[in-house]
Structure 1
Amino acid sequence: MKRYRIYINDNTLYIAATAPELATEIQQLEVQEFNFQSFYKKISKVSGKSFLLMDADPKALFQKIKKSCLIIKAAGGLVSSAKSNYLFIFRNKKWDLPKGKVEKGEKMKQAALREVEEECGVKIYTNEEKLCKTYHVYTLGAKIVLKKTNWYRMTVKGEPKLIPQKEEGITKAIWLSKADLAPIVANTYPSIMDVLEAGRLLEQRIL
């Protein structure tokens, strides 16, 4: 059964047929009365909370939420070098992975490759399978945006020097081994944690 996880600031909304097994407390919401726009406004001042919409058809419920938002598509990459290190960037005071918006007429996979090459000054050797999709919500003027990001596994030849795209607010671009991810985990976005789990750099959570 399909399950969804939507990030709103550092809060999480789960949409699933069964409750996830979480270490933290989760608040179940009433599906019949649920309005995503109202919910978003209510939790804009809440931090670090988990919420659950439990329904026999989570996909239909997720589609209903999508229709109430402006959808923006983005794509990015988890890039590994020949030395088995991984590419990370530092932007807006947090560790991140290279990604960006999909341009008109562009395929998601092509956008991912273009964004990684532009943001880090590298040439991608292979652009492989899709690792996962992540969803997060933010406001753009008066509209509530649901951003869908497709993430792909990529490789480079050797371990090239990285050139961070400073005009995009990227102040650092570095290679890190799987054993050196503690600083990343301590200061990154929940959606990036999902990508690291999908890439088997971290242990998989239940949902």
Structure 2
Amino acid sequence: MYKVFVKEIPIILSTKKNIGEHYTTIPLKQARFKKLVKKINNGELLYVNLYHKNAEKLELFLRKKIKVVEAAGGMVYNSKKEILFIRRNKKWDLPKGKIEKGETHEAAAIREVMEETGVQNLEIRDFMMKTYHVFTRNNKFRLKITYWYEMFSDYDGPLVPQPDEGIKKAKWKNFEKSQKALLDSYENIKLLFPKEYLTTHSNDRITKM
């Protein structure tokens, strides 16, 4: 199953005809993807499931219907089990960026994390998942597919946010501060976190960010 976010609302692509009573299921062959995106942007549509019995057809469909921009990024842990966040567009996010021509996904992820935060000594531990979201560039829809990696760094020096990318802050956050940051983040970022991060403690137990 894929979740393609449009304005924080997911279009579901799945191998199941029925995923909930609120969802309208449309066979993949009948789907007009850009029209669905427009309806979501206009507030006309909330719950849609694009169905095909063959899971391999789902991403191929996306790549055929809308121009793809590929990116890579990381969820970086340090020795204190803190996670590295960035602040951009008034949201907490994880560092990521566009994959350059000829660059591997892993190399792009490390480069982008370093450029956006100033962190050093990065080590990729594992591939996590891909996330999908639709954005607009020059009045045309684009699909960003981001490859996410779990990383580790023992770096304890100063973090340097990248201002020309609109990044205002780069901060290590412990478990409780990560929980609070996710209240002010993106739905596709939340997919990367275990469920316990998405259940917040009461406000009096959360220290200020």
- TM-score tier (shorter): 0.7 to 0.9
Task: Tell me, in whole angstroms, the C-alpha distance in 2 between the residues paired with 1:29 and 1:20.
Answer: 8
1:146 paired to 2:152: no
Match of 1:29 in 2: 25
**Structure 2 partner of 1:191:** 188
Using the alignment, how far apart are the partners of 1:124 and 1:152 within structure 2? Answer: 15
Q: In the alignment, which residue of structure 2 is the partner of 1:59?
A: 56
After superposition, residues 45-124 of structure 1 pair within 5 angstroms as 45-46=42-43, 49-124=46-121
TM-score by length of 2: 0.85
Distance change in 2, residues 1:120/1:91 (3 Å): same
* Equivalent position of 2:201 in the other structure: none
State the Cα distance separating 1:159 from its structure 2 match: 3.1
SS in 2 for 1:122: coil
- For residues 176 and 85 of structure 1, the distance between their equivalents in structure 2, rounded to whole angstroms, comes to 5
- Match of 2:100, SS state, is coil
Which runs of no fewer than 5 residues in structure 1 stay unpaired?
A: none
SS across alignment from 1:162: coil
Which whole-Å deviations, capped at 9, do the CAs of 1:120-146 have from their partners, x for residues lacking one? 011133122111100111122243211
Tell me by how many angstroms 1:47 deviates: 8.6
Cα displacement (A) at 1:37:
1.4
Deviation at residue 201 of structure 1 after TM alignment = 6.1
Amino acid at match of 2:175: K
Q: What are the equivalent positions in structure 2 for 1:172-191 lying under 5 Å apart?
A: 172-191=169-188
Aligned residues: CA RMSD: 2.2
Q: Which SS does the other structure have where 1:181 is aligned?
A: helix
Report if the CA contact (8 A) 1:83-1:159 is conserved. no
2:197 counterpart of 1:202: yes
CA distance in 1 between counterparts of 2:181 and 2:19 reads: 25
Which residue does 2:14 correspond to in 1? 16
Could you say if the C-alpha distance between residues 147 and 90 of structure 1 is closer, same or farther in structure 2, counting changes exceeding 3 Å? same
Q: Percent identity?
A: 34
Instruction: Please report how far the alpha carbon of residue 178 of structure 1 lies from its aligned counterpart in structure 2 after TM superposition.
Output: 1.6
**CA offsets 1:26-47 (integer angstroms, 9 cap, x no match):** 4223225321011111111229
Structure 2: runs of 5 or more not aligned: 199-209
C-alpha distance in 2, partners of 1:100/1:185?
20
Matched residue of 1:187: which SS? coil
Q: How far apart are 1:4 and its partner, in Å?
A: 1.1
Which residue identity is paired with 1:50? Y
- TM-score, length-normalised on structure 1? 0.86
